[in-house]
Amino acid sequence: MNDKHIRAALDQIAKQEIPDDMNLWENLSQEIPAHRAARVTRSISLIVVMLLMLVAAAAVYAVVRVQITDPGISGAMEANLVTELGLSQTIDDVTVTLDWAYADANRIAIGYSVAVPPDYQGAVVEGRFVLTDADNSFYSDGGGSGGGLMTPEGSEYVTTFGAAFVENPPDVLDMRFELTLSAEPVQQPTEEASGGSGGGFGYGSGGGGGSDATPEPGIAIDFGIDPVNLLGVFTFDFDLPYIPAIQVSVDQTAEANGLSFSVGDMIVTPSATQLNICFDLPTPEDWTPSAVLTTGGAEISQASWEIVSTEDSTRCGILTFYAPYQQEPITFTLTINELVSPYAHTEEAIAEFERILAEQGIEITVRTDTPGAFNFNLVTTPEGVDVGAALNEAYRVFARYTAGPWVFTIDIP
């Protein structure tokens, strides 16, 4: 699924609905090489919800809590599992502070802030991350998310990385975080037109193709550094506790609508849960499960679906949820609400998409400058209309659906 239309839409929503001191930057996406088969990015619903939550949460209540809309990382913070660091480095009046970090068997997360001199305040700062450890204990497993907020002095960010670890990694990782930044100086506004701005850069959950090549140790993400406007290469060495996963054998099967779903086992960490599932196909296509995981009264939408094996009549893969786990007994409920067919952006479906939005007073223009992809710009968004919900509902015209639900109740030790 192409999510560029969502970013374009939200960019316009931000311009229309966010105060002058909360101008959300466009969210960027980055495909990350993965060692497994192709991973399907998070559902359109989650993309909209997460980005709109980012807008709504723009009131930062602490540096180490900035823009945390990820329930798994929020849960790790509430359980005091993150390592607060407070490491700073300054190069030519640009200061980067590595505020905190976290690592478990499913993910690595970091929080950092950037303080820039007046000539760069309000500038779009591009970044390149390289995250490694001395023992080559992990590599990119695809996926991740990020966001941030620009303050008058600079910006604050939270970034997570999907990670896979070697067998028996160290209890404490000897980590190195290298951050390369570039930015163009900006012309400062006059006093009459001055105002703060907010935003951040990040990347959507996703993964690369199913290459069998041996992955490179560590994680590297590049958003496109401008060597002419380089701000510096900031390097931090630190120790980071590693939290192992628990494996739960589920071995349950559920049937609905003539189709069978089975859950084999699940890998649980404080920040994320992965479930191995197989299901019958309604037709021989790559149908995607649409699921939620209920834990402690909270309903968590799936972060990704990764296909690991294909047959004519079945699919097997991994469902990932950024669900909190407080390392104590709890019951998770997995609900697979429906199966979604591959998206087809036909002329008829695009016309129906426009009609559904127009009924709610939302006007769009379909872009023609991206052959092979469906993108659009928002023209009119009436006051009082939940644009995110309207986009989600209208986008359903591009797929077919097979209803469930398939429900599994799982006790976690």
pLDDT confidence of residue 3: 42
Query: What per-residue string of b and e applies to 344-379 under the rule 16 or more CB within 10 Å gives b?
Result: ebeeebbeebbebbeeeebebeeeeeeeeebbbebe
pLDDT confidence of residue 29: 30
Determine contact, residues 76/108, Cβ cutoff 8 Å: no
Residue 131 has pLDDT above 50, yes or no: yes
Q: What are phi and psi of 258, to 5 degrees?
A: 75, 10
> Hey, what are 264's tokens?
């084999």
pLDDT confidence of residue 187: 67
Residue type at position 203: Y
On whether the pTM is more than 0.75, the answer is yes
pLDDT confidence of residue 122: 77
Question: CA-CA distances (angstroms) from residue 387 to 200, 202, 206, 361, 381?
Answer: 21, 22, 24, 10, 7
Determine contact, residues 350/366, Cβ cutoff 8 Å: yes
Query: Any alpha helices (H) in 183-228, and if so which ranges?
Result: none
Determine contact, residues 315/353, Cβ cutoff 8 Å: no
Between these two residues, 270 and 47, which has the higher pLDDT value? 270
Rounded CA-CA distance 92/246 in Å is 45
pLDDT confidence of residue 394: 95
pLDDT confidence of residue 200: 40
Determine contact, residues 125/183, Cβ cutoff 8 Å: yes
pLDDT confidence of residue 362: 95
Residue 318 has pLDDT above 50, yes or no: yes
Residue 254 has pLDDT above 50, yes or no: yes
Determine contact, residues 306/36, Cβ cutoff 8 Å: yes
Residue 36 has pLDDT above 90, yes or no: no
Determine contact, residues 355/337, Cβ cutoff 8 Å: no
pLDDT confidence of residue 373: 84
DSSP lists the bridge partners of residue 96 as 89, 114
Torsion region of 223: left, alpha or beta (phi above 0 gives left; psi -120 to 50 gives alpha): alpha
Residue 66 has pLDDT above 70, yes or no: no
pLDDT confidence of residue 65: 35
356 closest CA partner among 337, 336, 376, 371: 376
Determine contact, residues 178/233, Cβ cutoff 8 Å: yes
Least confident of 31-35, 39-43, 198-202: 31-35
HSE of 170, CA atoms in CB hemisphere, 13 A? 12
To the nearest 10°, report the CA torsion of 164, 168, 174, 177: 0
Residue 186 has pLDDT above 70, yes or no: yes
Determine contact, residues 55/151, Cβ cutoff 8 Å: no
Residue type at position 193: A
pLDDT confidence of residue 132: 96
| Segment 348-364 mean pLDDT | 95
Residue 45 has pLDDT above 60, yes or no: no
- Tens of pLDDT, residues 194-237: 333 333 444 444 444 344 566 789 999 887 888 888 999 999 99
179-183, 275-279, 381-385: which has the highest mean pLDDT?
275-279
Between these two residues, 346 and 6, which has the higher pLDDT value? 346
pLDDT confidence of residue 121: 81
pLDDT confidence of residue 401: 97
Rounded CA-CA distance 116/154 in Å is 5
Between these two residues, 310 and 15, which has the higher pLDDT value? 310
| Segment 74-96 mean pLDDT | 95
pLDDT confidence of residue 189: 53
